Structure 1
Amino acid sequence: MEPSSRGPASFLTQANALLRKNLTFQKRNLKTNIGIIGFPVFICVVLVILQNVLNDQLGKAKYRCGCVCIDTNGDGNCETVCGLQYSTPDQVNSCPIPSPPKWPALLQVPRLASRAVRSGFVSSTDLPDASCKDSKSCPATVLFTGRNQTLAESLAGNLFKSTSSSMNFSDYLNLLSSVVPGSDTPTRDTQFIEPAFVSDRPLYVLQPQCTANFTRSVSFEISNRTLELEVECVQGLSLWRDSSSAVNDELFKGYRQENTKRKTNEYIAAYDILNSDENGFNLNIWYNSTYNNDTGYVPIALLRVPRSMNAASNAYLRFLRGMGVMMRLEYVKDMPKSGTDNRFDISSLLGALFFTWIVNLLLPVILNYLVYEKQQKLKIIMKMHGLKDGPYWVISYAYFFSLSAVYMICFVIFGSVIGLKFFTLNDYSIQFVFYAIYVNLQIVTAFLMAAFFSSVKTATVIGHIYVFASGLLGQFLLRFFMEDSSFPRGWIIVMEIVPGFSLYRGLYEFAQYAFMGDNMGTSGMRWKDLSDSQNGMRNVLIIMTVEWLVLLPAAYYLDQVASSGGIRRGPLFFLQYFQKKPSASFRKPSLKREESKVFVEMERPDVSQEREVVEQLLLEQSTSYAIISDNIKKVYPRRDGNPEKFAVRGLSLAVPHGECFGMLGPNGAGKTSFINMMTGLTTPTSGTAYVRGLDIRIDMDEIYTSMGVCPQHDLLWETLTGREHLLFYGRLKNLKGAALMQAVEESLKSVNLFYGGVGDKQAGKYSGGMKRRLSVAIALIGDPKVVYMDEPSTGLDPASRKNLWNVVKHAKRNRAIILTTHSMEEAEYLCDRLGVFVDGSLQCIGNPKELKARYGGSYVFTMTTSSNEEEEVESLVRQLSPSANRIYHISGTQKFEVPKHEVRIADVFRAVEIAKKKFTIHAWGLADTTLEDVFIKVAKGAQSFNLLS
């Protein structure tokens, strides 16, 4: 094999070609790319609008510190005075509070309808009957357990203290510290105003037994405000349980929802005294987290827990020292604070879910691009024209990374410029590292997913489902587990292996640090915070980095061996890189042909002669033949109950340089299967072929560098022009500079796409014939030594077809061409030799004249007369040729096959002239056998033989 003067294109040359093509392609899709990059900007604008609307609402008088106008001098002029004492609960957050008020610590008491009673799912016999709810006498229950039942029962008896019904509320702090007060008012996010004292719900005093007519309305002063409040007695019931598991079970069943009305059996609290005794007090407390207000980082229901602890401590002191001893819990209060504006950063609140969707939306974009190239077979055609995997992966990866980087940079910069705390409070270097690692992981994930799709629509739908599902599951599943301190941390790490969950966890950490920093006036996440055991960012960064390093080779491997719609390799293809490649001479063929011996004996002499030529060529060390097919076979296995399909049955063929070989055959004959094996799309079942001395089984990458393909269907980028297509494929064939420009100009001129600016129009605006001519030009540019053309003139008008034929005829002078066609005229004009292919096997081979002489040894005599003179016509033909055969007969028109050796053309003309005097002849003709007649005759004969066999 003589090396090309240019040689194959280098890695950098191919990378440059693909990069230029991609940049041009993306320039034509500028509006789409601007839309993609502008999407996060649009989202940030929406967040700013929502933030301004929220700020406007929070700035209204309803949420500003309460004020009144007071006439201090009695002159009728009032002075505005603002402060906590004039504020509603909604206004407290914005008030300056140098000396916060003192509030009694209360116990969270279940409402009457929810207090624990005997029911279908809680059957403890020591609980009150459900009828107590009708009489409004249900007690509020506390559960006890522990190792020392005697001590527990003693504590239970001392938990609630009996008090007088005539309590004086003038000194409410002192009074409520000596009893066990409670409330069923839900907790709020502040203790500056205890919600129980500003609600319409009563205040409770828990006692062992309630006396009649205890309920009373009281009025007392708190923070210079007069409050009206009802005080009621609630019986406190303490019950023993044998173990903490029994307590857990009962608490869980009490919380369970039985129907849409949410029936529950709630308890005040539950105590496990563990190993407590006279020498030590050790306690676990269960509290009802149903009353959590999750606007803060810490459950707000914990604000009602101190009274539970105080009640238990007092019970233990009474056990040790008697009833006269107690530990007072007079009040709780917050730290002083200055006046502030109400702040609520919506970007931090929505960050984890909202931004997960925004960042992940790049995945369907990348996946769509990759699958589009596969669905349109653009990746395949690039590979067939010499593009190697290395440049394709490097340039594609670099492009997607650039797009992702611009996308994320615009996202962060614009979000920071408009002041979203999510971006401005957290360290930008941490954000850079996090986003950089994730976009790399996202690109690799897209490559991995693309290996399993061949339809753009399916890939797009699945991609968007993944995007929204990862965000929703992160918000409503992963977040729940992250905030549950009892859930194993190891399982959270397992869940974060899913890239969407890793993204959510990282954004969640950014959002939490930004939210707390904004509320507390501190900074957000810093590098030192990654060492915090509660911060999951470090684990996320490690997981994503390791996953990227694992998925990158996995994606490449799947692309090679399992890519749907592409050129596949064997599962162990990578082993070939460790093997020493043989020289480019022919491998010695196996002489064992027993399996095809019977088949060979049935072959026609011309086909057998071609097989002998192939076997002789394979024994030579070098040859001028460009293509040698050595008994190549393709058998598709049984499927769905159907037998094996023999697509190609041991084809042997040799095509030298400078020859155009035409393959004729009916649909389904196996022509496309043969072409697919020669171009590497499918692997031969047995046998092989050599292209310029290279084996198609192991050397396809080298073969592609000197191969051109014109596929049956035009594989073009709709937004690239004809010139840009040729520039790209010319660069892949190592054309550069002036030589490249000259080759492109000549190619456009040769297929009539040069004049009138047609070559600079986008291929999507071409007609079908123009696309076909461009495909032929692509196949021939760069002087490929072997070209495969699958019906190149389909859809062309007669003038364009004739021009295209001249281009192909000129091109075959220094290259081998295999051409398939259904046009006999095209085959006769272009092809030096023809082969008729039927049912997977070659039936005959030779140049057009030889085939017509071999299979067309007769003339076709046609005559049209009136129907009552048909017998005279038949008598005339029999006189000329006794063995003539009538092949057509309808309404006075008859056709006869007349053997050439029985007649002379002059005799036929003389006989017709004589016959004209005897009867009326409307039309007549004598034609030689056409190539179409040969094709039909051979195809029918082969099909009849196959049916008989």
Structure 2
Amino acid sequence: MQVMLTYLVYEKQHKLRTMMKMHGLGNGPYWIIYYAYFLILSTVYLVLFVIFGALIGLNFFKTNDYGIQFVFFFSFINLQIVLSFLAATFFSKVNTAQAIAYLYIFGSGLMAGSLIRNFLEGGKFPRHWITVLEIIPAFSLYRGLYELSQYAIRASETGNPGIQWSDLNDHTNGMRDVMIIIIVEWLVLLPVAYYFDYAASVGNSSGLLSIIKRLLRKNPTWRRIAVNEVADNDVHVEMEKLDIIKERETVDQVLQQRNSGYAVVCDDLKKVYHGKDGNPDKYAVRGLSLALPYGECLGILGPNGAGKSSFISMMIGFSKPTSGNAFVQDFSIHTDMENIYNSMGVCPQNDMLWEMLTGREHLQFYGRLKSLSGSALDLAVEESLRSVNLLLGGAADKQVRKYSGGMKRRLSIAISLIGDAKVVYMDEPSTGLDPASRKSLWTAVKQAKQDRAIILTSNLQPMSIPSLALGHSCFPSMVAIKPLVLFGIFAAHSMEEAEVLCDRLCIMVDGRLQCIGRPKELIARYGGYYVLTMTTSSEFEREVEDLALKLLPNARKVYHLSGTQKYELSKQQVRIADVFMAVENLKRRVEVQAWGLADTTMEDVFVKVATGAQSSDELS
């Protein structure tokens, strides 16, 4: 039991079972496969155990009827498998499950060994109470072994055969009662274990109280779900931007249609992590509304803690929304996740892989879950391996435990795209990838999005700041680099990836949607200015500031770090020729180490939107 329990809890702890479900493996097939796997292994072990015992001449095996031995051990094996599934429902950590399993096995075994023998041989304990005790599996096992051993002892003394089928009618023999109890327990606990396992897997929770609460809770039947778990004081008064209002109107129109034609629709989705030990609640996602059609890749940008991963977790069934709803191919994430899993591909933020399987075996397994077989499966696996550069150097046939972090990431990307998944989620897919692998990823995603919807979150990449290598060792003040402090020191989004892959981009800050639109639209909306960057020694910083203000009195300083300054200059108020002329005049008076004039980039848009949203939250 301990081995089976460990195996089941390991898959739960590492989200491997959820990963399989997200690619189409239902609870029924999962149970059948693993039940048969455990049963075959246990039966082989049982047969070898009995044969070995008989070959070495143990009377326990030689004298007793082999049919009785097989039925007794086989039925107890089935009971142990069912108990393992049932116990796995209430554990989420392998170490905890192993500790409890060992305590149960040894504790109940010692108690059964001491009590059953004393009760049977003492003759003073009522026999019907002994039968009641045998409801505990360890007691029934020991009682059966006790009866088999007693018949073997008498057989060796008298020369008669051990226990036979006719002996089960003897009232002094408890073997019949034990076998009946084991078989009845097995048949009764089988549907109970399946039901509890199903309830836990649907809610992705393993706590006993959570399961009981979920079983007592009625499933919502309306499309819009209002849950009163969001605090009433979570009211954010702000002037919503037109693009967000338009997106919400689109969602309202789509929800009124029976067949929307949209792949993903999110309706006022919220997620709150309730604080513990006196800590305040954490509002991860605050009223997110989105509508994503087929053939589109939507990029979600945001600083660390913006709510991107929480949003993805809700959409793929890792966590339940606190309120609101979302629909994937018109199926609700509250009630129809089983149907959603059949047409979904996921590249999670953390790789969920079996350490002992190869990359090819992973893709073959998930390809079969996507109904691929034969030559179609082989072709899909080869194409997937080639698209993520895992065919080089025999990497496809190496165990995953020998993979580097980047190789594991590429395999996770290939898994998410194999088959005919209509909706694919990629949570920071390019983390840890080298430029060549990232380029291959872009090509694979572009080809894949033709007939499916893709939601992609962009990961943080190290920022290259040339000014740090220009001879200044002093660390700047926290005020000077406040934008960098807010969004991670010396880090920026891989905007190139977002612009290349995504048809639309949205920026999230503190769980709220700040803007949404095509990259060029966002640049036009939040741009409209040039970025003047200039690096000088610290003693000439004032001259640079005077230059910017002379070009444009309302020029805005957006960056200042150890001699490097950035200013935003309105395109409508400044001519490029004037900028070049002013810089040339400045270079005659002071030493300018480096300077540049650039148009607005998506990275500038992100910093501007995120900084503005953060400042607004601080004021509110």
TM superposition score category, shorter chain reference: 0.7 to 0.9
- 1:844: which partner in 2? 515
- Deviation at residue 840 of structure 1 after TM alignment: 1.8
- Deviation at residue 589 of structure 1 after TM alignment: 5.5
- 2:322: which partner in 1? 685
AA at the equivalent of 1:627:
V
Q: How many equivalent residue pairs?
A: 580
> Which residue, 125, 148, 152 being the options, matches 1:514?
152
- Against the structure 1 CA distance between its residues 468 and 538, is the aligned structure 2 distance closer, same or farther, given a 3 Å change threshold? same
- Deviation at residue 498 of structure 1 after TM alignment: 1.1
* Residue 561 of structure 2 is aligned to residue 924 of structure 1: no
AA at the equivalent of 2:565:
Q
Secondary structure of residue in 1 paired with 2:592: coil
- Deviation at residue 873 of structure 1 after TM alignment: 2.9
- Deviation at residue 639 of structure 1 after TM alignment: 3.5
- Against the structure 1 CA distance between its residues 918 and 847, is the aligned structure 2 distance closer, same or farther, given a 3 Å change threshold? same
For residues 560-639 of structure 1, the aligned pairs below 5 Å read 560-562=198-200, 566=204, 602-637=239-274, 639=276
- Against the structure 1 CA distance between its residues 892 and 511, is the aligned structure 2 distance closer, same or farther, given a 3 Å change threshold? closer
Secondary structure of residue in 2 paired with 1:776: helix
Q: TM-score, normalised by structure 2?
A: 0.88
For residues 394-433 of structure 1, the aligned pairs below 5 Å read 394-433=32-71
CA offset digits 1:865-918 (Å, max 9, x no partner): 344444433332222111113344465443322222221212211222233334
> Which residue, 852, 858, 864 being the options, matches 2:535?
864
AA at the equivalent of 1:744:
V
Secondary structure of residue in 2 paired with 1:901: coil
Structure 1 regions of 5+ residues with no counterpart?
A: 1-362
Q: TM-score, normalised by structure 1?
A: 0.58
* Residue 503 of structure 2 is aligned to residue 832 of structure 1: yes
* Residue 127 of structure 2 is aligned to residue 456 of structure 1: no
Secondary structure of residue in 2 paired with 1:803: helix
Conserved? CA contact 1:374–1:566, under 8 Å: no
- Deviation at residue 469 of structure 1 after TM alignment: 2.1
User: CA–CA distance in 1 between the matches of 2:275 and 2:34?
Assistant: 38
- Against the structure 1 CA distance between its residues 879 and 576, is the aligned structure 2 distance closer, same or farther, given a 3 Å change threshold? closer
User: CA–CA distance in 1 between the matches of 2:202 and 2:140?
Assistant: 29
Conserved? CA contact 2:82–2:190, under 8 Å: yes
> Which residue, 653, 656, 670 being the options, matches 2:307?
670
Secondary structure of residue in 2 paired with 1:668: coil
- 2:468: which partner in 1? none
- 1:446: which partner in 2? 84
Secondary structure of residue in 2 paired with 1:917: helix
Conserved? CA contact 2:223–2:325, under 8 Å: no
* Residue 6 of structure 2 is aligned to residue 378 of structure 1: no
- 1:814: which partner in 2? 451
- Against the structure 1 CA distance between its residues 397 and 820, is the aligned structure 2 distance closer, same or farther, given a 3 Å change threshold? same
Conserved? CA contact 1:600–1:608, under 8 Å: no
- 2:613: which partner in 1? 942
- 1:873: which partner in 2? 544
* Residue 400 of structure 2 is aligned to residue 763 of structure 1: yes
Secondary structure of residue in 1 paired with 2:61: helix
For residues 11-50 of structure 1, the aligned pairs below 5 Å read none
User: CA–CA distance in 2 between the matches of 1:939 and 1:651?
Assistant: 17
- 1:164: which partner in 2? none
Secondary structure of residue in 2 paired with 1:794: coil
Secondary structure of residue in 2 paired with 1:669: coil
Secondary structure of residue in 1 paired with 2:122: coil
Secondary structure of residue in 2 paired with 1:632: strand
- 1:553: which partner in 2? 191
> Which residue, 471, 478, 486 being the options, matches 2:109?
471
User: CA–CA distance in 1 between the matches of 2:450 and 2:237?
Assistant: 33
For residues 880-895 of structure 1, the aligned pairs below 5 Å read 880-889=551-560, 892-895=563-566
Conserved? CA contact 1:374–1:565, under 8 Å: no
Q: Identify the structure with the greater helix proportion.
A: 2
User: CA–CA distance in 2 between the matches of 1:709 and 1:742?
Assistant: 21
Conserved? CA contact 1:787–1:818, under 8 Å: yes
User: CA–CA distance in 2 between the matches of 1:856 and 1:923?
Assistant: 23
Conserved? CA contact 2:5–2:84, under 8 Å: yes
**Higher RCO, 1 or 2 (CA under 8 Å, sep at least 6)?**
2
- Against the structure 1 CA distance between its residues 669 and 873, is the aligned structure 2 distance closer, same or farther, given a 3 Å change threshold? closer
* Residue 380 of structure 2 is aligned to residue 709 of structure 1: no
- 1:750: which partner in 2? 387
Secondary structure of residue in 2 paired with 1:819: strand
Question: Mean Cα displacement is larger for which, 563-572 or 894-903?
Answer: 563-572
AA at the equivalent of 1:849:
K
- 1:908: which partner in 2? 579
Secondary structure of residue in 2 paired with 1:620: coil
Conserved? CA contact 2:148–2:163, under 8 Å: yes
- 2:438: which partner in 1? 801
- 1:640: which partner in 2? 277
- Deviation at residue 638 of structure 1 after TM alignment: 5.0
- Deviation at residue 746 of structure 1 after TM alignment: 0.9
- Against the structure 1 CA distance between its residues 696 and 864, is the aligned structure 2 distance closer, same or farther, given a 3 Å change threshold? closer
Conserved? CA contact 1:860–1:927, under 8 Å: yes
For residues 768-783 of structure 1, the aligned pairs below 5 Å read 768-783=405-420
User: CA–CA distance in 1 between the matches of 2:226 and 2:147?
Assistant: 70
User: CA–CA distance in 2 between the matches of 1:840 and 1:875?
Assistant: 39
Conserved? CA contact 2:296–2:454, under 8 Å: yes
User: CA–CA distance in 1 between the matches of 2:357 and 2:445?
Assistant: 24
- 2:73: which partner in 1? 435
Conserved? CA contact 2:274–2:281, under 8 Å: yes
AA at the equivalent of 2:448:
A
Structure 2 regions of 5+ residues with no counterpart?
A: 460-493
CA offset digits 1:351-370 (Å, max 9, x no partner): xxxxxxxxxxxx11111111
- 2:167: which partner in 1? 529
Question: Mean Cα displacement is larger for which, 415-424 or 679-688?
Answer: 679-688
Percent identity for Structure 1 against Structure 2? 62
Conserved? CA contact 1:451–1:564, under 8 Å: no
User: CA–CA distance in 1 between the matches of 2:225 and 2:163?
Assistant: 70
AA at the equivalent of 2:11:
E
Conserved? CA contact 2:297–2:449, under 8 Å: yes
- Against the structure 1 CA distance between its residues 599 and 948, is the aligned structure 2 distance closer, same or farther, given a 3 Å change threshold? closer
- Deviation at residue 518 of structure 1 after TM alignment: 0.5
- Deviation at residue 653 of structure 1 after TM alignment: 0.1
User: CA–CA distance in 2 between the matches of 1:609 and 1:825?
Assistant: 26
- Deviation at residue 376 of structure 1 after TM alignment: 1.6
- Against the structure 1 CA distance between its residues 868 and 711, is the aligned structure 2 distance closer, same or farther, given a 3 Å change threshold? closer
User: CA–CA distance in 2 between the matches of 1:737 and 1:575?
Assistant: 45
AA at the equivalent of 1:456:
V
- Deviation at residue 642 of structure 1 after TM alignment: 3.1
- Deviation at residue 635 of structure 1 after TM alignment: 2.8
CA offset digits 1:279-313 (Å, max 9, x no partner): xxxxxxxxxxxxxxxxxxxxxxxxxxxxxxxxxxx
Conserved? CA contact 2:308–2:508, under 8 Å: yes
Question: Mean Cα displacement is larger for which, 784-793 or 936-945?
Answer: 936-945
- 1:368: which partner in 2? 6
User: CA–CA distance in 1 between the matches of 2:553 and 2:616?
Assistant: 28
- What is the aligned-residue RMSD (CA, Å)? 2.8
AA at the equivalent of 2:34:
S
Structure 1 or 2, whichever has the larger Rg, is: 1
Conserved? CA contact 1:474–1:504, under 8 Å: yes
CA offset digits 1:221-243 (Å, max 9, x no partner): xxxxxxxxxxxxxxxxxxxxxxx
CA offset digits 1:22-77 (Å, max 9, x no partner): xxxxxxxxxxxxxxxxxxxxxxxxxxxxxxxxxxxxxxxxxxxxxxxxxxxxxxxx
User: CA–CA distance in 1 between the matches of 2:335 and 2:203?
Assistant: 20
Conserved? CA contact 1:377–1:566, under 8 Å: no
- Against the structure 1 CA distance between its residues 448 and 601, is the aligned structure 2 distance closer, same or farther, given a 3 Å change threshold? same
- Against the structure 1 CA distance between its residues 505 and 405, is the aligned structure 2 distance closer, same or farther, given a 3 Å change threshold? same
- Against the structure 1 CA distance between its residues 420 and 740, is the aligned structure 2 distance closer, same or farther, given a 3 Å change threshold? same
- Deviation at residue 655 of structure 1 after TM alignment: 0.7
- Against the structure 1 CA distance between its residues 484 and 614, is the aligned structure 2 distance closer, same or farther, given a 3 Å change threshold? same
- 2:489: which partner in 1? none
- Deviation at residue 834 of structure 1 after TM alignment: 1.1
- Against the structure 1 CA distance between its residues 667 and 565, is the aligned structure 2 distance closer, same or farther, given a 3 Å change threshold? farther
